[in-house]
Amino acid sequence: MVKNAGGEHTPTRRDYIKYGGAVVTGGLLAGCTGGDGADGTSTTATTTDTQTTTTAEETETTTAEDESYTVSIEPMGDVTFDSVPETWVANNGSWADMGIALGREPPKAVWLTGRYHTQYYDEIPGVSVDKSDMVSLYQDGVSKELFYELDGDVHVIDPNFLMNRFKGWEQADVDELRENVGPFFGNCIYAQHYPWHSEYRYYTLYEAFEKLAQVFQRTDRYDAFEKLHDDFLANLAPVVPEQGERPSVAVLWGVGDNPEKFYPYIIGGGTGFKHLRDLKVNDALAETNIKDFHGSRASIDLETLLEVDPEVLMLRGYESMSRKKFQNTVVQFLQNHGTASALTAVENGDVYRAGGLYQGPITNLVLTERTAKQLYDYEDQLFDRQRVADIVNGNL
């Protein structure tokens, strides 16, 4: 962080990374959110204009004269880099995992380090991430000063998330950091429920992954992962039963280790539901009057859940627990609870961890296979762990 004698920030615009196009600019953006989130943050609306001209033909371009290159992503538009960014800040574990898959050093910060579940890498030989020095961007709010201290070469964050997720950020703050620290490059892809995102496109996991590969100039690793993912889906297809043979599943965020209140999730778009979509899960909540937590911030109790009585419970909020600890705390509590014990899923022992909200190419493979084994009694591996490690390490 650089300050002048009066304590104000002095401009330190990086000469080697600059915007080649417009960032989101001040104007009107329809939609707002309000209330408290499951992570303790509140949502409020600010106004912003967005670009909507990005198409599927967006590609990385390199100029021969100065070796700069441009990558385009909504809502930022074109972002030009004069050299490959070395240090970076990520919005969440989806983008962080993409960087690891590309063989990059971990980001210096993510939104909440506790929700970047690096234990998934235990499945991959020779791949690990040390979070001991990683910083949570959200610390009862998000400080602009923290971005100066982190001094990232690029911020892989949708700026509209900063300006609309909670009070305190405006377009001028984003512009200041873009000018004095480093550009923003990102899209809020983990779920598709924010009204402020309705003005510009979402990206699938692999569309976003390809964009970041272009930023880090490691498209060869992306291509290898895309092929691995195609093979994975081909292996997965015969594992998934016909619709009538698949159990009804309720996806819920359990509140506390002894949950009597739950935040309901309707399976929808976004990277956070990719494993469930690929497994063609029958959503027990979709045909009920229960409102999705993403849009309503509402909760349900055990009595309401008993009325639905899904065959399987998939509970979020417990990824930091081992499978054994989850069974000995959350599941045991439900088994001993007067109301919860009457649930079909509890009676049959079909209560599982649902996986985190933030998935990248590696974590999605791990979670999808884990969930396939839970739901469909599948035993074998669906992807080659060593091949994942080889791609990460550049052995293509």
- Residue 261: strand pairing partners: 301
Find the mean pLDDT for residues 251-275: 96
Q: Check whether residue 328 and residue 364 sit in a common domain.
A: yes
Q: Check whether residue 287 and residue 358 sit in a common domain.
A: yes
Which candidate, 161, 210, 204, places its Cα nearest to that of 184?
Answer: 161
State the DSSP string of 92-129: SHHHHHHHHHTTPPPPSEES-GGGS-GGGGGGSTT---
Q: Check whether residue 248 and residue 202 sit in a common domain.
A: no
Contact 191, 272 (CB under 8 A): yes
Within a domain: 319: yes
Q: Check whether residue 205 and residue 259 sit in a common domain.
A: no
Classify residue 126 as left (phi > 0), alpha (psi -120 to 50) or beta. Answer: left
- In this prediction, residue 351 carries a pLDDT of 98
Find the mean pLDDT for residues 150-179: 94
Q: Check whether residue 209 and residue 275 sit in a common domain.
A: no
**CATH code (residue 248):** 3.40.50.1980
Find the mean pLDDT for residues 362-375: 97
Within a domain: 104: no
Provide the domain count of the chain. 2
Residue 264 above 60 pLDDT?
Answer: yes
Confidence at 167, pLDDT banded by 50, 70, 90:
confident
Residue 10 above 60 pLDDT?
Answer: no
Contact 95, 199 (CB under 8 A): no
Of residues 71 and 141, which shows the higher confidence score?
A: 71
Q: Check whether residue 266 and residue 329 sit in a common domain.
A: yes
Q: Check whether residue 87 and residue 207 sit in a common domain.
A: yes
Q: Check whether residue 38 and residue 160 sit in a common domain.
A: yes
Confidence at 65, pLDDT banded by 50, 70, 90:
very low
Tell me the pTM: 0.83
Within a domain: 232: no
Within a domain: 373: yes
The whole-chain average pLDDT of the chain stands at 86
Within a domain: 125: no
- In this prediction, residue 61 carries a pLDDT of 40
Within a domain: 55: yes
| Tens digits of residue pLDDT in 208-254 | 999 999 999 999 999 999 999 999 999 999 999 999 999 999 999 99
d(CA 85, CA 92): 18
- In this prediction, residue 165 carries a pLDDT of 84
Question: Of 168, 184, 217, which residue constitutes the final position of a domain?
Answer: 217
Confidence at 292, pLDDT banded by 50, 70, 90:
confident
Within a domain: 96: no
Question: Of 185, 217, 249, which residue constitutes the final position of a domain?
Answer: 217
Contact 6, 267 (CB under 8 A): no
- In this prediction, residue 115 carries a pLDDT of 94
Within a domain: 5: no
Residue 337 above 60 pLDDT?
Answer: yes
What are the two backbone dihedrals, phi and then psi, of residue 39, each rounded to the nearest 5 degrees? -95, 10
What's the domain range around 174?
17-91+137-217
- In this prediction, residue 24 carries a pLDDT of 35
- Residue 253: strand pairing partners: 263, 316
Q: Check whether residue 69 and residue 200 sit in a common domain.
A: yes
d(CA 348, CA 234): 30
- In this prediction, residue 67 carries a pLDDT of 86
Tell me the range of 44-58, 217-231, 285-299 where mean pLDDT is highest.
217-231
Residue 339 above 70 pLDDT?
Answer: yes
61: exposed, middle or buried (C-beta count within 10 Å: 0-12, 13-18, 19+)? middle
Confidence at 7, pLDDT banded by 50, 70, 90:
very low
- In this prediction, residue 11 carries a pLDDT of 40
Give the tokens for residue 328.
């000995």
| Tens digits of residue pLDDT in 355-368 | 999 999 999 999 99
Instruction: Show Cβ contacts of residue 225 under 8 Å, excluding neighbours closer than 6 positions.
Output: 101, 206, 209, 361, 391
- In this prediction, residue 246 carries a pLDDT of 96
What are the two backbone dihedrals, phi and then psi, of residue 244, each rounded to the nearest 5 degrees? -65, -15
Q: Check whether residue 28 and residue 163 sit in a common domain.
A: yes
Question: CA 32 from chain center: how many Å?
Answer: 21
- In this prediction, residue 296 carries a pLDDT of 73
Amino acid in position 56: A
Confidence at 66, pLDDT banded by 50, 70, 90:
low
Q: Check whether residue 293 and residue 256 sit in a common domain.
A: yes
Q: Check whether residue 74 and residue 150 sit in a common domain.
A: yes
Contact 331, 315 (CB under 8 A): no
